[in-house]
């Protein structure tokens, strides 16, 4: 490894974190700076069209949750010793917003989702006005985590590691995967651009023939065209030069700690729903090609669309590309081989080309050899068990196969450390995908309730951390020999765009405290500047707060889902 100031800092923090030394912490010694303990970001008052600026709000203290401990001791803070501290990033969703495989036109069907349809969620994630700024948001989040890396707010321990819990890329593309690895690792110039490197080619530009009112056009409408719906109805601003600023090369700072990763459905499937194993060649041909659908044909109903997506998504796209009018519904774009769709095995392999640590970012030589994406590792007194909950047969929700379930049971039965934490993309409640494809693995998929029951039988398991829902949520999962905490963290792509710090502390009274603290990315309110990644991330947060499909959605969760002290009996 090249000796640089960044690597010296990163190595020093990692070495301090894995010693397993318990660090006494005085009562009430909480360092709020750099976290939502000190300040939050909230939607401000509504302006024209209901558009809201993002404003600073008060900090939020830790809320004690004691579902597992009947009578918490009052003096536990005075006895407390730190065990381990780490960061969780989830649903980073690095987006190639110019890709022909980005199906933005599906978004307009979201208003009348059909309950129970397995493609529900495809429409709502098909288009976001700020999606061209995903790499800048990720860089701003890395900056925020680095600010607190030397000392977590409660225990004072350095952050031992960071783990991203899936949907690291948005569309299973090679370039998105590489951008994700580059942002978290740092040290090399990243150019978040694809296709033609001299101009933007997508739904947000001012192309006269393919201009569509449903999308936000930051440079305004082209000559003789009406104002787009986001500006006219929702008060979105004109931001000249944004598309060029979003494509501008920058050097990510990179995490100052080892980082690990989990596999999500957007990593393992086109649009998070369609498996590359059976559709990859055809999907790659569209993604790397020169035709991009901008607008759907008139008269295409939601029912027709969902039926086609369920039964023959590739056939639907090829049919539309062959029959829609070029220039009105479909536009020419510059082809790009870096947009190719990757398989799970290929994504695992990409993590071995990195400037960050560890090489592979958790994935092992066994994963490379057999194409799996689940593994385990130990830091200090904690064993992490990272699952691959993506159903390779398709659709957004997850499950695991029986060999992975057997592996998990064996690891739990022969623990490698005092405490065990399970990490995955899906929550237990979204592991409800039983789909089996003819010709594939004939065995039933293992769903969430079975995994919960297994974990409840092993008292060294203190937590299961995950993502997928894009919302902060925490559940007590009592049962079996004790139970565990399930900790679900919001995304980088939807407001409030947060990550989470987790600290394990031994209270010296037979209990543990798991402190969860939300972290906002390093950008504040948007000043109008497009000068750097932090300013662009500030704009992205503001735009995400005004997503017209998110006005009534509370992805922040309740106070008991955010900054909390989770008590549990010590194994």
Q: How far apart are CA 271 and CA 105, in angstroms?
A: 13
- Return phi, psi of residue 550, to 5°: -120, 5
On average, the pLDDT of the chain sits at 91
Average pLDDT score over residue span 289-297: 92
Average pLDDT score over residue span 96-102: 96
Q: How far apart are CA 371 and CA 66, in angstroms?
A: 41
Q: How far apart are CA 92 and CA 420, in angstroms?
A: 25
Provide the pLDDT for residue 358. 98
Domains and CATH numbers, the chain: 5-25+36-60+82-498+527-562 (3.60.21.10)
Provide the pLDDT for residue 306. 72
Average pLDDT score over residue span 39-56: 96
Provide the pLDDT for residue 4. 34
Q: Give ∠ CA 246-547-112 in degrees, rounded to 5.
A: 130
Q: Is the pLDDT of residue 323 over 60?
A: yes
CA atoms within 13 A on the CB side of 533: 24
| Most confidently modeled range among 209-213, 279-283, 350-354 | 350-354
CB atoms within 10 A of CB 29: 13
Q: Which residues pair with 544 in a beta bridge?
A: none
Q: What percent of the chain has pLDDT over 90?
A: 78
Per residue in 354-363, pLDDT (tens digit) is: 999 999 999 9
Place of tokens 């004690």: 64
Q: How far apart are CA 541 and CA 521, in angstroms?
A: 9
Per residue in 377-399, pLDDT (tens digit) is: 999 999 999 999 999 998 899 99
Per-residue tokens: 10: 């990163």
Q: Is the pLDDT of residue 289 over 80?
A: yes
Average pLDDT score over residue span 261-284: 87
Q: Is the pLDDT of residue 274 over 90?
A: no
> Do the beta carbons of residue 309 and residue 302 sit within 8 Å?
no
Q: How far apart are CA 535 and CA 529, in angstroms?
A: 6
Q: Is the pLDDT of residue 301 over 90?
A: no
Q: Is the pLDDT of residue 27 over 70?
A: no
Q: How far apart are CA 345 and CA 364, in angstroms?
A: 12
Place of tokens 């402190």: 515
Give Dmax (Cα) for the chain: 72
Provide the pLDDT for residue 279. 74
29: confidence class by pLDDT, cuts 50, 70, 90:
low
Q: How far apart are CA 31 and CA 255, in angstroms?
A: 21
Q: How far apart are CA 525 and CA 13, in angstroms?
A: 31
322: confidence class by pLDDT, cuts 50, 70, 90:
confident
Provide the pLDDT for residue 277. 72
Provide the pLDDT for residue 5. 30
Q: How far apart are CA 551 and CA 43, in angstroms?
A: 10
Q: Is the pLDDT of residue 275 over 60?
A: yes
Residue ranges of alpha helices (H) inside 270-358 are 276-287, 302-311, 313-323, 344-350
Place of tokens 């590691």: 161
Place of tokens 């579902």: 67
- Per residue, the 3-state secondary structure of 522-560, as one string, reads CCCCCCCCCCCHHHHHHHHHHHHHCCCCCCCCCCCCCHH
DSSP annotation of 202 reads S
Provide the pLDDT for residue 117. 44
DSSP secondary structure, 208-258, as one string: TTT--TTS--TT-PPTT-PPPHHHHHH-PPP-TTHHHHHT--B-----SS-
Provide the pLDDT for residue 121. 53
Which pairing describes strands 473-479 and 482-488: parallel, antiparallel, or unpaired? antiparallel
Report helix, strand and coil shares of the chain as percent, to nearest 5.
Answer: 30, 20, 50
Q: What percent of the chain has pLDDT over 70?
A: 92
Q: Is the pLDDT of residue 1 over 90?
A: no
Provide the pLDDT for residue 546. 96
Measured over the CA atoms of residue 367, residue 373, residue 374 and residue 377, the dihedral's sign is positive
Per residue in 230-249, pLDDT (tens digit) is: 999 999 999 999 999 999 99
């Amino acid at each position: 490894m090249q000796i640089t100031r960044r690597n010296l800092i990163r190595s020093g923090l990692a070495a301090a974190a894995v010693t397993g030394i318990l660090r006494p912490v005085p009562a009430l010694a909480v360092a709020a700076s750099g976290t939502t303990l000190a300040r939050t970001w909230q939607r401000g008052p509504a302006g024209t069209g209901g558009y809201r600026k993002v404003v600073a709000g008060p900090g939020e203290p830790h809320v004690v949750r004691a579902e597992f401990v009947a009578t918490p001791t009052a003096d536990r803070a005075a006895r407390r010793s730190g065990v381990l501290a780490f960061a969780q990033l989830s649903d980073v969703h690095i987006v190639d917003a110019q890709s022909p495989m980005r199906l933005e036109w599906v978004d307009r069907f979201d208003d009348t989702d059909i309950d129970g349809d397995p493609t529900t969620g495809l429409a709502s994630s098909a288009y976001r006005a700020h999606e061209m700024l995903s790499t800048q948001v990720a860089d701003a989040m890395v900056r925020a985590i680095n600010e607190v890396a030397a000392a977590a707010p409660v225990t004072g321990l350095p952050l031992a590691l960071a783990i991203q819990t899936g949907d690291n890329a948005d569309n299973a593309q090679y370039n998105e995967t590489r951008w994700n690895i580059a942002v978290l690792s740092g040290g090399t110039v990243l150019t978040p651009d694809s296709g033609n490197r001299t101009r933007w080619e997508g739904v947000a530009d001012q192309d006269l023939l393919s201009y569509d009112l449903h999308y936000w056009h930051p440079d305004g409408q082209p000559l003789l065209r009406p104002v787009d719906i986001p500006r006219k109805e929702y008060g979105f601003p004109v931001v000249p030069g944004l598309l060029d600023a979003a494509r501008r090369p920058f050097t990510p700072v990179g995490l100052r700690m080892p980082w690990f990763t989990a596999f999500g459905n957007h990593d393992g499937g086109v649009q998070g729903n369609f498996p590359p194993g059976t559709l990859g060649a055809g999907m790659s041909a569209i993604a790397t090609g020169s035709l991009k659908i901008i607008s759907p044909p008139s008269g295409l109903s939601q029912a027709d669309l969902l039926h086609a997506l369920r039964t023959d998504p590739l056939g639907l796209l090829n049919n539309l590309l062959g029959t829609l009018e070029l220039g009105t519904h479909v536009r020419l774009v510059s082809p790009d081989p870096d947009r190719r769709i990757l398989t799970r095995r290929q994504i695992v392999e990409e993590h071995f080309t990195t400037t960050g640590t560890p090489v592979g970012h958790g994935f092992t030589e066994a994963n490379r050899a057999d194409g799996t994406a689940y593994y385990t590792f130990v830091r200090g007194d904690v064993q992490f068990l990272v699952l691959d909950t993506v159903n390779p047969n398709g659709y957004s929700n997850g499950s695991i196969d029986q060999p992975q379930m057997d592996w998990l049971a064996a690891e739990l039965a022969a623990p490698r450390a005092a405490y065990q934490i399970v990490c995955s993309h899906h929550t237990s409640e979204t592991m409800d995908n039983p789909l089996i494809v003819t010709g594939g693995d004939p065995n039933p998929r293992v769903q969430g309730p079975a995994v919960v029951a297994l974990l409840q039988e092993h008292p060294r398991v203190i937590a299961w951390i995950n993502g997928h829902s894009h919302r902060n949520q925490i559940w007590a999962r009592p049962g079996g020999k004790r139970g565990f905490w399930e900790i679900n963290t919001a995304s980088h792509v939807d407001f409030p765009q947060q990550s989470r710090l987790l600290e394990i502390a031994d209270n010296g009274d037979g209990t543990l405290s798991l402190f969860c603290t939300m972290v906002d990315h390093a950008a504040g309110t948007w000043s109008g500047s497009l000068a750097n990644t932090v300013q662009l991330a500030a704009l992205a947060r503001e735009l995400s707060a005004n997503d017209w499909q998110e006005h009534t959605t509370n992805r922040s969760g309740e106070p008991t889902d955010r900054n909390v002290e989770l008590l549990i009996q010590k194994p």
